[in-house]
Chain A
Amino acid sequence: MAYQRTMLAAAIACALAGTSSPALADTQELEQLKRQLGTLLDRVEQLETKTRDAEARAAAAEARAGRAMPAAKPTAVHSGNEKIRVNVSGHVNRALLAVDDGEETELYHVDNDSSSTRLRVIGEGDVSPELTVGTAIEVQLESNSSFAVSQDDEAPGGDTLSLSDRRLEVYFDHDRLGKLWVGKGWTASEDSSEMDLSGTALAGYSSTADIAGGIKFRDESGNLSSNTVGDSFINLDGLGRRDRLRYDTPTLGGVRLAVSAVEDSAWDAALNYAADYNLGKLAAAVAYSDQESNDGQVNGSASFLHTSGVSVTLAAGERDSGEQDPNFVYGKLGYQNQWFSAGNTAMSVDYHVANHADQRSDKATSVGVQMVQSVDDWATELYVGYRNYDLERANEPLDDANALIAGARIKF
């Protein structure tokens, strides 16, 4: 701008010089030209000032934007080959649980056992183009598990930290040969009764006892019996998480076979399937497991989520354990949609029948209603679920129990 100002003054001076004819010798005309020159110089000065102000505002805005924008990967430290990764993640899941046992209504402050509060550290290294070696440490921290609180113990464990291991294992994952796991973790049959695409599993799924497993049924006199919800409402979900050696085949056409040799002479095998279709998504599993306490168990589940948002989930299982032979069936009908900009809304109703779980004459029936609202910007899911528990037992009339749970799971 200073350069332009100099050029303008020079041009005007040249014009004045080039017009120094006798006609311009008139003093008044000379004075008029001087005034015009002064006006032009003032105007140039104003323009320079405005330009400097605009540049300063632009620099300040850029600095503010830089502070507001997060770095591309604020938690990542990058160097040369990046073949070693350590990921830390987890969530906190807290809820209020109200239970009416036919005699009294109690309010409990719980950690929802459907998806307990936990912390996970995964370490992985790509030791070759096809092989990844990994470690997994996952612990569960529950204060007042919803599966443990009861009418005579609202705070099981008291102030003692409830810390339990979920996964303590190493694994070797090869693209063509499959995956080998050693240590404590999911057995091959874990989750085989719990395939669920409804979006509402936080509030209710085939393990219907998770939200109130410690609650005791009252007899017809109003006295607490020793029969708990958790004893009777079973879903025979394989061998759970145990110390084991597990092998998974590579996934072929959506199908994966897994087998594991488990502590205490137990073993299991499972077939898992997951695929996308034009009509929606399907996930299914079937498992066989065997352990010393029984003569074998078969169970499975399947869940289909239609593109319309409607979902259907089914599960069933049976254990051969001599005379008792417990079994169960479960069904859930759900619907999910994004009605709100905050995130997905999912709702469902379900029905569960478990026979011979605790005693041969037992028939346990549960009906539930669930809703989960995702709030994507907060990495949060808000949920509410209601469930009725009805246990029929020969020669021992028991009151129904009704449970209402509402809470939030936040991924940190």
Chain B
Amino acid sequence: MKTGIVLMVLLLGGCGGTPASYHSEREIPEGPGLLTGEDGVYQYRR
């Protein structure tokens, strides 16, 4: 099983897609919030 998993990932890494980011569905969602609006966060900048 260990060998299979390592081979699978190495094989996928060689497939040559366009690099993308992964955001877990279980973390705080990306995008707008009900109260925070379009930004999705309360934001302070200086």
Give the complex CA separation of A118 and B39 in angstroms.
18
B28 touches A91 (CB 8 A): yes
**Contact status A88-B42, CB under 8 Å:** yes
| CB nearest neighbor in B for A320 | B2
In the docked arrangement, what's the CA distance between A299 and B2, Å?
Answer: 8
Residue of B nearest to A378 (CB): B34
Minimal Cβ-Cβ distance residue in B for A296: B2
Main DSSP-derived SS at the B contact region: loop
Which residue of the partner chain B has the closest CB to A194? B24
Q: Across the interface, do A285 and B9 meet the contact criterion of CB distance under 8 Å?
A: yes
Say whether B43 contacts A273, CB under 8 Å: no
* B27: min CB distance to chain A, Å: 7
User: Judging by beta carbons under 8 Å apart, are B26 and A114 in contact?
Assistant: yes
Assess whether A78 is interfacial by the CB under 8 Å rule. yes
- Is the pair A87, B34 in contact by a Cβ cutoff of 8 Å? no
Q: Inside 8 A of B22's CB, which chain A residues have their CB?
A: 195, 272, 274, 283
Contact B9 A75 (CB under 8 A): no
Which A residues lie within 8 Å of B37 (CB)? Answer: 70, 74-75
Asked if residues A196 and B25 are in contact (CB atoms below 8 Å), the reply is: yes
Given contacts A70-B37, A91-B29, A274-B22, contact A318 B2 (CB under 8 A): yes
* Residue tally, chain A, CB below 8 Å to B: 63
Residues of B within 8 A of A261 (CB): none
Contact call B9/A87, Cβ cutoff below 8 A? no
Known: A281-B20, A318-B2. A77 touches B44 (CB 8 A): yes
Q: Is A87 a contact of B12 with CB atoms below 8 Å?
A: no
Question: A33 at interface (Cβ–Cβ under 8 A)?
Answer: no
CB distance from B20 to the nearest CB of A (A): 5
**Which residue of chain A has its CB nearest to the CB of B7?**
A286
Least CB distance from A305 to B in Å reads: 11
Q: Contact: B20 with A89, CB < 8 Å? A: no
- CB pair A255 B13 closer than 8 Å: yes
Known: A202-B26, A272-B22, A380-B34. Contact between A254 and B9, CB under 8 A? no
In the assembled complex, the Cα of A82 lies from the Cα of B46 at a distance in Å of 5
Q: Which residues in chain A, 250-301, are within 8 Å of chain B measured between CB atoms?
A: 251, 253-255, 271-277, 281-286, 298-300
A209 contacts chain B at the CB level, 8 A cutoff: no
User: Hey, what's the 0/1 contact readout for A361-404 against B, CB within 8 Å counting as 1?
Assistant: 00000000000000010111100000000000000000000000
Known: A87-B42, A281-B20. A298 touches B5 (CB 8 A): yes
Q: How far is the CB of B16 from chain A (nearest CB, A)?
A: 8
Q: Judge whether A273 and B12 touch: CB under 8 Å.
A: yes
| Cα-based distance from A87 to B28 in the complex (angstroms) | 13
Chain B residues within an 8 Å CB radius of A286: 5-6, 8-9
Chain A residues proximal to chain B, CB less than 8 Å: 70, 73-80, 82, 84-91, 114-115, 118, 120, 191, 194-196, 199, 201-202, 205, 251, 253-255, 271-277, 281-286, 298-300, 302, 316, 318, 327, 376, 378-381, 409-412
**6 pairs of A and B residues whose beta carbons are closest in the complex:** A275-B17, A254-B19, A87-B41, A274-B22, A201-B25, A115-B26
Q: List 9 A–B pairs whose Cβ atoms lie within 8 Å, in order of A's numbering.
A: A79-B46, A84-B45, A89-B36, A202-B26, A281-B20, A286-B6, A286-B8, A286-B9, A379-B29
Using CB atoms and an 8 Å cutoff, list the residues of chain B in contact with chain A: 1-2, 4-6, 8-9, 12-13, 15-22, 24-29, 31-37, 39-46
Additional A-B contact list (8), CB under 8 Å, known A201-B24, A275-B18: A76-B39, A82-B45, A84-B45, A89-B40, A91-B29, A199-B25, A274-B19, A274-B20
